[in-house]
Amino acid sequence: MSLQIISIILGSLTLASALLVVFSKHPVRSVIYLVVTFFFITSMYIMMNAQFLAIVNMIVYAGAIMVLFLFVLMLLNLNKEAEPVTTKGSQLAAFIAGGSLFLVLITALKDTLTLGQTYRAHNDQIGLVKQLGNLLFTKYLVAFEITSILFIAAMVGAILLAKREKQIIE
């Protein structure tokens, strides 16, 4: 019971920090709130006993990616620049669209939702490192290796894009 309360608190905090990401005016604050959001998501992974993913999420997202974001913000020195405000109309449209997206998704999963209240997990050991490691290095070995190629490509691309722009400008 207490776990349930904790998870509800965590979930509400996740949503709250996500809303702050979207609505804070300052980009740096957005990044900070995003990191917070990721923390909460990680904690939810832990709640579900997905330990491996929780760790990876923590390291990759909250650690690597967010630092990257911060670096870029700092690099471009945008923290003081006021972001242009979108028009009311398009904001309204965005909210309506987002709201209806939410509703539609809820409707789409309504059967699962009603069923899910009494549904119980079969195996809570699934998210352990050992289990996933087995899967990853047997069944998904090729895919795993290919991700390295993807990373190399991303690295090369990033370097190229960040380096060669001077020739492209003129």
Instruction: Determine which residue in the list 80, 89, 165, 167 makes contact with another protein, applying CB under 8 A.
Output: 165
153 binds another protein (CB under 8 A): yes
Q: How far is the CB of 152 from another protein (least distance, A)?
A: 10
Instruction: Determine which residue in the list 39, 74, 109, 142 makes contact with another protein, applying CB under 8 A.
Output: 109
Report the alpha-carbon distance of residue 101 to residue 99 in Å, rounded. 5
For residue 121, the 8-state DSSP code is: -
Report the alpha-carbon distance of residue 136 to residue 130 in Å, rounded. 10
129 binds another protein (CB under 8 A): no
Q: What string of DSSP letters covers 76-131? A: HT-TTSPPPPPPHHHHHHHHHHHHHHHHHHHHHTHHHHHHHTS---S-TTTTSHHH
94 binds another protein (CB under 8 A): yes
89 binds another protein (CB under 8 A): no
Q: How far is the CB of 90 from another protein (least distance, A)?
A: 7
Report the alpha-carbon distance of residue 22 to residue 70 in Å, rounded. 16
Instruction: Determine which residue in the list 80, 89, 120, 142 makes contact with another protein, applying CB under 8 A.
Output: 120
Report the alpha-carbon distance of residue 5 to residue 39 in Å, rounded. 18
7 binds another protein (CB under 8 A): yes
Taking the CA atoms of residue 107, residue 117, residue 51 and residue 17 in that order, the dihedral angle to the nearest 10 degrees is 50
In the region spanning residues 33 to 62, those forming contacts with another protein, defined by CB under 8 A, are 34, 37-38, 41, 44-45, 47-50, 52-53, 56-57, 60-61
64 binds another protein (CB under 8 A): yes
